[in-house]
Amino acid sequence: MSLKRIDLLICCGSGCISSGALKIKDQFHNVLQDKGLTNEINIIETGCMGPCDYGPVLVVYPEGIFYKKVTPDDVEEIVNEHFLKGRPVKRLMLQDEEEKTFITQKEIPFYQKQVKVALANCGYIDPESIEEYIATGGYEALGNVLTTLTPQQTIDIIKKSGLRGRGGGGFPTHLKWQMVHDNPEEEKYFICNGDEGDPGAFMDRSLLEGDPHRVLEGMMIAAYAIGAKNGYFYIRAEYPLAIKRIKLAIAKAKEAGLIGNNIFGSDFSFEAEVRTGAGAFVCGEETALMQSIEGQRGNPTPKPPYPAVRGLYKKPTVVNNVETLGNIPSIILQGADWFASMGTENSKGTKVFALTGDIRNTGLVEVPMGITLRELIFDVGGGMIGDHKFKAVQLGGPSGGCLTTQHLDVPIDYESLKERGAMMGSGGVIVMNEEKCMVNVAKFFMDFCVDESCGKCSPCKIGLRQMQEVLKRIESGYGKEGDIEELQRLGETIAKLSLCGLGQTAPNPVLSTIRYFRDEYEAHIRDKSCANKVCADLMHYEIDKDKCIGCSLCSRKCPVSCISGSREEKYTINQLPCIKCGTCLDVCPVKAISKIPGMHPDVQAKREAEKLQQQNQEE
């Protein structure tokens, strides 16, 4: 039995690592060693605790005290005051606007509406320790399944739970399993899809890094249910830590006899392997993913045949998402009824979301299905940063649509979102405030899809590029009447005819922003104006002569020397060469420069002249 009296949990999810968590860990090691406290204090590196915005974060047990935005310089104080004198450091605790201090993790508003199922252990255990996973009930589900249930009984439990694929498709998990289970083929495969390419999504990364054994256990239960002896983890190469943790988990499970032959004394034998991607978003699509595992270019193949019939190496295969697998052990241990008691009629259980954008509490959360957007954004997410107002939220990344203020009371479940032109997606939630231009956002997602298109089918390869051209024109002030209708026509056609999910859903951001923010498109086209002053060609910078003090700083800093004037006459921006870099606004000491929506008349006149010239040449 150990003599340790403090468990110091340091969040080492990639988010906190990127804010310097490892330096803090090293500093703790040094200070504790200097003070001879290493026998009394356990340092545990955990996976993601969730609130990325407060990172780097620490939790100190047994009290459960939560420290936010810790720096290496704070370490000495924490050790002296808290560990040695028993006086937790108040200034490092979270405070709200009314200066109320939240001492323990449990009290924090961010966690109040969350229910952790897939993320139960994330931020609580050392992900590199199989013992800690076992301590929280790990591998008991697998043991129960292998020693007391048949594969069909296992599938029935998952059916009863109502679990649907968490990767975005929302397909009932038990159906895929049943199809492959019923297939008389001997050779079957199971694949865990860890190619989380959606911008703004890091649910799967956090789970793979923070609780890799849970995903492995889920995979093994699934493999048993379908009759597969081999499992593959396909993880994108941009997640080196996740790859390392899963490989370690597999090695430790093997050492413990949990992978190999006759697991738990049953007839079930299983081997798992890790394969990585190499920077291709399309490999998140299951057929492209399987091509990639087979060492080919990641081009999707037509469906049917579905992977359940002909998948990896042409054998029946189930591909499940990381989060889907993360739910399996809990469903087995706590029961299908327990899982089905959460959520809505058709969307059972919980969902992990990654909150990003203009929201106060960015980070990773897990909430019951059916929570409203308002609760997610304002209660869990803490609302908008600063005095800004909520404008729109993009759910489901480049495949999803956006929702606006009129949808704040919509419950988050698969069907409700679909009805409104949006989708659950994998869980990325990008929140935008009133300063964002929706045309610009739509174009951004379109650029992404054009880049990631594999090029195999024409509707996607050529069609998306055409949509991109129209958006480029609109954004640069060359939009014309009929462009909106053209985008809609193209979008609907591409969605119908594309070979895979990438092309089928790529038009969604454009189509949904047209649906809810048509006026912004119209202003860009008719008035040549970007009301939010984002689209560079549809806004301009202006110096207010009444405020200008003639200091010439803007003129000197301007990279294209387009500002001229004098102390007496004040300064003016020559709009034609202006590149809209914003340097002048940044440096002006008296805030005399501002952004104005709309193309400047000088620029407009120049374009008219060019147009006329072009017309004359053609005649």
Partner 1 sequence: MIKEICQKYAPHKDNLIQILHEVQDQDPQHYISPEAVDTIAEYLKIPVNHIYGVLTFYTMYSTKPRGKNIIRLCESPPCYLKGSENILRKLKILLGINIGETTKDGIFTLEFTSCLGVCGNAPVMMINDDVYGDLTEEKVEDIIDKIRGRK
Partner 2 sequence: MKTLADLKKIREKAQEEMKLRGGNTRIKIVVGMGTSGIAMGAREVMKTFLEEIANRNLTDVLVTQTGEKGLSSLEPVVDVIEEGKPKVTYGNMTPEKVKKVVVEHIVNGRIVSDYVVATGN
Which residues would be at the binding site for partner 1 (CB under 8 A)?
14-15, 17-19, 52-53, 55, 196-202, 205, 237-240, 275-281, 292-298, 354-358, 362-364, 394, 428, 430, 432, 436, 441, 444-445, 448, 451-452, 454, 581
Among 28, 54, 67, 124, binds partner 2 (CB under 8 A): 124
| Contacting residues for 233 by C-beta, under 8 A, at least 6 apart | 191, 192, 194, 215, 219, 246, 272, 273, 274, 275
| Contacting residues for 562 by C-beta, under 8 A, at least 6 apart | 573, 574, 575, 576, 577, 578
Cβ pair 253, 128 in contact under 8 A = no
Q: How far is the CB of 403 from partner 1 (least distance, A)?
A: 15
Cβ pair 439, 447 in contact under 8 A = no
Nearer to partner 2, 105 or 361 (CB): 105
Rule CB under 8 A: say whether 65 interacts with partner 2.
Answer: no
Nearer to partner 2, 4 or 611 (CB): 4
**What does 292 bind: partner 2, partner 1, none (CB cut-off 5 to 8 Å by kind)?**
partner 1
Among 26, 30, 77, 84, binds partner 2 (CB under 8 A): 84
Nearer to partner 1, 19 or 27 (CB): 19
619 vs 38: CA distance, rounded Å: 86
Query: Per the structure block, which two tokens stand in for 552?
Result: 């010439």
Rule CB under 8 A: say whether 265 interacts with partner 2.
Answer: yes
Nearest residue to 331 via CA among 318, 343, 319, 315: 343
Q: How far is the CB of 390 from partner 1 (least distance, A)?
A: 14
Stretch binding partner 2 (CB under 8 A), from 109-117, 124-132, 510-518, 609-617:
124-132
449 vs 479: CA distance, rounded Å: 21
CA distances from 351 to 10, 25, 321 (A): 25, 31, 13
**What does 357 bind: partner 2, partner 1, none (CB cut-off 5 to 8 Å by kind)?**
partner 1
**What does 277 bind: partner 2, partner 1, none (CB cut-off 5 to 8 Å by kind)?**
partner 1
Q: How far is the CB of 549 from partner 1 (least distance, A)?
A: 26
Return the sign of the alpha-carbon dihedral for residues 411, 416, 418, 421.
negative
Helices (H) and strands (E) in the chain, counts: 25, 19
Nearer to partner 2, 62 or 184 (CB): 62
Cβ pair 13, 22 in contact under 8 A = no
Nearer to partner 2, 253 or 319 (CB): 253
Nearer to partner 1, 181 or 245 (CB): 245
Q: Is 343 left (phi over 0), alpha (psi -120 to 50) or beta?
A: left
Query: Per the structure block, which two tokens stand in for 5?
Result: 């009296």
Tell me the site size for partner 2, rule CB under 8 A: 34
Nearer to partner 1, 156 or 238 (CB): 238
258 vs 264: CA distance, rounded Å: 7
φ and ψ at 351, to 5 degrees?
Answer: -140, 140
Stretch binding partner 2 (CB under 8 A), from 135-143, 177-185, 486-494, 570-578:
135-143
Query: Per the structure block, which two tokens stand in for 15?
Result: 């988010």
* Strand pairing class (271-276; 230-235): parallel
**What does 594 bind: partner 2, partner 1, none (CB cut-off 5 to 8 Å by kind)?**
none
Rule CB under 8 A: say whether 1 interacts with partner 2.
Answer: yes
Cβ pair 351, 367 in contact under 8 A = yes
Nearest residue to 592 via CA among 572, 577, 606, 609: 572
344 vs 369: CA distance, rounded Å: 6
7 vs 126: CA distance, rounded Å: 11
Q: How far is the CB of 226 from partner 2 (least distance, A)?
A: 23
Q: How far is the CB of 305 from partner 1 (least distance, A)?
A: 20
Among 23, 63, 375, 522, binds partner 2 (CB under 8 A): 63
Cβ pair 70, 11 in contact under 8 A = no
Rule CB under 8 A: say whether 444 interacts with partner 2.
Answer: no
Report H helices in 264-317: 286-293
Nearer to partner 1, 86 or 559 (CB): 559
Q: How far is the CB of 85 from partner 2 (least distance, A)?
A: 6
Q: How far is the CB of 373 from partner 2 (least distance, A)?
A: 33
**What does 452 bind: partner 2, partner 1, none (CB cut-off 5 to 8 Å by kind)?**
partner 1
> Where do we find the tokens 């200070």?
31
Rule CB under 8 A: say whether 125 interacts with partner 2.
Answer: yes
Rule CB under 8 A: say whether 36 interacts with partner 2.
Answer: no
Rule CB under 8 A: say whether 64 interacts with partner 2.
Answer: yes
> Which string of x and - marks every residue 240-259 that binds partner 2 (by CB under 8 A)?
----------------xxx-
Nearer to partner 2, 41 or 551 (CB): 41
Nearer to partner 2, 143 or 199 (CB): 143
Count CB neighbours of 469 within 10 A.
Answer: 13
Q: How far is the CB of 608 from partner 1 (least distance, A)?
A: 30
Return the sign of the alpha-carbon dihedral for residues 128, 134, 138, 144.
positive
Q: What angle do CA 534, 537, 538 make, to 5 degrees?
A: 65
Cβ pair 583, 561 in contact under 8 A = no
Nearer to partner 1, 343 or 507 (CB): 507
Nearer to partner 2, 65 or 442 (CB): 65
Q: By CB under 8 A, name the binding residues for partner 2.
A: 1-7, 9, 42, 61-64, 84-87, 124-125, 131-132, 134-135, 137, 139-140, 143-144, 147, 256-258, 264-265
